[in-house]
Amino acid sequence: MDCARFRDSYSDFADGLLDERAEIALFDHMAECPACQRLHAAYVAGCGALRRMRDLRPAPDFGTRLTARLRREELAPVGAPVALMAGLLLVLGAAASGWWLLGPRGEAPVVATVPDNAQRHSPLVVHFAGDSSLRYPSHFTVIPVSREHLASPGQPIEVTVDWMHP
Amino acid sequence: MAPLVRERQQTPQAPAQNAFSGLEDARVVQAFLDGESRAFTELVLRYQTRLLNFIYRTIGDRERAEDLVQEAFVRVYRHLHRFDQTRKFSTWIYTIASNLAKNELRNRSRNPLVLFQTIRKQWEADHRPLQFEDTSSRPDDLFRKRHLRELVEWSVAQLPEHHRVVFVLRELEGKSYEEIAEITRCNLGTVKSRLNRARTSFAAIIAPHLD
């Protein structure tokens, strides 16, 4: 046996998978080859030290943190793609802020009229006029560009429009 | 509301242990799928330390390893209903952990900031005063033990990632070749050749330092 053969069969030797004849050949080679002897000694010492190393233990709050994460998992809809979730949150947020910013408030209610030729996802001008309610086609979500528009009811404002599928 | 996951140290007689401790993984998994939430606690108790050590030996960052173990359990919790119960649960959870560790190493190699933070954490650990380590040993023993531990960890870390995973699974986790093949999604021949390369490389790396 030469050093290359020794190295090729070393893993089987370490796992005790060599037959008796091959194992004797390997020991014979080691007896006359200091380099392979040294390699074997290093493997035994290194792996021994590795196995004797104390196991790391999880931090004391590991279970608490995991429980908190799993609680959040239970609350989150399983299987919903992240993009869909983000999109849903965005739409809900936009609708809520639109209602908060443009909804009827006290003495200055407004009416928004969305032109019939409105394009999907394109900015358009919405004309406000004094009225008791905010009206726009039900398939649009109206998002004001800034809060300043609230201070000028009855004035044209620019809004972004998102298409809501019926 | 009772916590889903109990700390073993805090509740050594936790009900989950009494109810499930003698059962095979497959029975515990089935109990969880049947609606027994405490069965999940048992799975966490069985695997948290093993996964932490496996991931730590693979990526070399303790804090991050713990985050990844948490992530592994979250994935198990979320996908256990899809787990093929003809397979071994331990192989499945190690596959998840192994993939997380591989992704971490891949991301790290692409992100210099993460690499820097890892090096910094390692530096801080290396320079921790000896007296905080173990009060029952003499300083020279402590130094020798720490030196050997660092040497062994360093030698493992020198192995290429695909060799290191196989090496840790075999030498530390005691997995069979077949299990390693399933966890790493390699064929048996590849596992054997990688393990042989990893073992002889490890020995060659550490040998000059042991003389």
* Residues of A at the B interface, defined by Cβ within 8 angstroms: 7-8, 10-12, 14, 38-43, 45-47, 49-51, 53, 55-60, 62-67, 69-71, 73, 78
Residue A141: its H or E element: strand A140-144
Distance CA(A97)–CA(A103), nearest Å, equals 9
DSSP letter for B131, please.
G
CA–CA min distance A66, chain B (Å): 6
Structure tokens at B99: 């993939």
**Could you give the 3-state DSSP secondary structure of residue A158?**
strand
* Cβ neighbours of A46 in B, within 8 Å: 152, 155, 202-203, 206, 210
The predicted pLDDT at position B108 comes to: 75
DSSP letter for B38, please.
H
Q: State pLDDT tens for residues A70-124.
A: 887 765 544 445 555 555 566 666 666 665 555 544 333 334 445 555 554 444 4
Asked if the C-beta of B173 comes within 8 angstroms of chain A's C-beta atoms, the answer is no
Residue A143: its H or E element: strand A140-144
- Residue type at position A53: M
Distance CA(B32)–CA(B1), nearest Å, equals 18
What pTM value is reported for the model?
0.64
Cβ contacts of residue B106 below 8 Å, gap of 6+?
none
- Per DSSP, the residues of A63-131 read HHHHHHHHHHHHHSPTT--HHHHHHHHHHHHHHHHHHHHHS--TT--EEEE--TTPPTT--EEEEEEE-
pLDDT band at B18; cut points 50, 70, 90: low
The predicted pLDDT at position B65 comes to: 94
Contact A55 B49 (CB under 8 A): yes
Distance CA(B132)–CA(A124), nearest Å, equals 67
Closest CA to A15 of A37, A42, A47: A47
Q: State pLDDT tens for residues B138-171.
A: 555 555 666 778 888 889 989 999 999 999 999 9
Mean pLDDT for B76-97 is 91
Q: State pLDDT tens for residues B115-128.
A: 444 544 554 555 55
* 8 Å CB contact between B74 and A69: yes
Asked if the C-beta of B20 comes within 8 angstroms of chain A's C-beta atoms, the answer is no
The predicted pLDDT at position A107 comes to: 34
Distance CA(B42)–CA(B1), nearest Å, equals 18
R_g (Cα) of chain A, nearest Å: 37
Mean pLDDT for A5-11 is 92
